[in-house]
Amino acid sequence: MNDMGNAEITEDIEIENEDKIELENDDEKESEDDLKEEQKELKKLSEELAKKAEEYDILYDKYLRINAEYDNFRKRTAKEKEGIYSDAVIDVLNIILPVLDNVERAAQFLESSEPEKVSEGIKMIYSQFLNSFAKLGVEEIKSAGEQFNPEIHNAVFHEEDENQPNNTVTEALQKGYIKGDKVIRPAMVKVVN
């Protein structure tokens, strides 16, 4: 019985050892499986990181290109704006220069013995100047008899007149001019208070 009891104990110990070995093998397999999973996850994350780095490089390149395009656009529009201004000045001068030519011709005749021709020439120059303004869209501000408007009139004199309504312009001392809605120069006027 002793031998049989020992055999049973030995058998139990062997079974326990086998179970331990199996458990250790299972633990090793689980560790290997976990390691493989972690390696797969690491590889996947590395691939994603590489993709994101490539996307970043593409987007950064786009950013640099757009920034350069905007800078070129800004410089080009500034140059065009300067060109447009110069062209506008040239257009205005081309309209006004013939008037200057006629003023020079009239100045040559000032000392002539025919004052009627000089007077007629000056009236023609004045008419030509008004036509030049019309071509440019510039109009004279109506003043005398109009209601005073501080946006287009500059009151420099005030007078009392019971025959006129208050705030009426009685006289334009210097003409004012307007182009569209923009006042070029307000009219200097005398106003009734």
Q: What is the structure's pLDDT at 15?
A: 67
The CA-based angle 42-46-47, given to 5 degrees, is 120
Model-wide pTM > 0.85: no
- In this predicted structure, what is the pLDDT of residue 65? 96
Residue among 183, 106, 125, 101 nearest 150 (CA): 183
Distance CA 21, CA 13 (A): 12
pLDDT for position 57? 95
All residue ranges of the chain with pLDDT < 70 are 1-29, 112-113
Angle, CA of 96, 101 and 105, to the nearest 5°: 145
Residue ranges of E strands in the chain:
138-140, 153-159, 169-174, 177-179, 182-185, 187-192
- Domains along the chain? 139-193 (2.30.22.10)
Residue 184, SS3 per DSSP = strand
pLDDT value of position 110: 74
* SS3 state at 167: coil
